[in-house]
Amino acid sequence: MFFLIVVLFIRICYTDIRFRVIENKCIIAILFINVLTFIMGEETPYFYSSLLIFSVGFVCILSNCVGAGDVKLLTVLGMVFPPGELPDFIFLVTVSGLPLIFIVYLLHRFSKRKFSKTLPYGVAIISGYLLKILI
């Protein structure tokens, strides 16, 4: 299972950096793996956490603050954490995004080529998730 998650994370990072897209099939695969892991481990998925993330994320989507793929990724990854651990998860995602913001700014500012001003935030989401799992 871990190998599949790593492959999916690599795919998500690649497509998000290259095309600024997080594919729905990757999101569905992660959701399936999470649910299967919960069934095999006899733990309960934290659907309340996912609902909370999606609710806040939906408002952010409507206000054009964040992409829908980022919210979907946060939603399926947030299922792993109880609601009390969500602030830590979001904090680690935010901290993981800071170097990304700096790199994109430098690329945009000093490169001769034109780079997108949007952030491939799927990379920061996955980094924050891995940090939270490892801590």
pLDDT at 111 over 90: no
pLDDT at 42 over 80: no
pLDDT at 7 over 90: yes
Q: What is the pLDDT of residue 128?
A: 97
pLDDT at 10 over 90: yes
Q: pLDDT band at 118, cuts 50/70/90?
A: confident
Q: What is the pLDDT of residue 107?
A: 86
pLDDT at 1 over 90: no
Burial grade of 47 (CB within 10 A; 0-12, 13-18, 19 or more): exposed
Is the separation of the CB atoms in 119 and 101 below 8 Å? yes
Is the separation of the CB atoms in 119 and 104 below 8 Å? yes
Region 105-122: what's the mean pLDDT? Answer: 85
CB atoms within 10 A of CB 81: 20
Q: Could you tell me which of 46, 94, 34 has the C-alpha nearest to residue 66?
A: 94
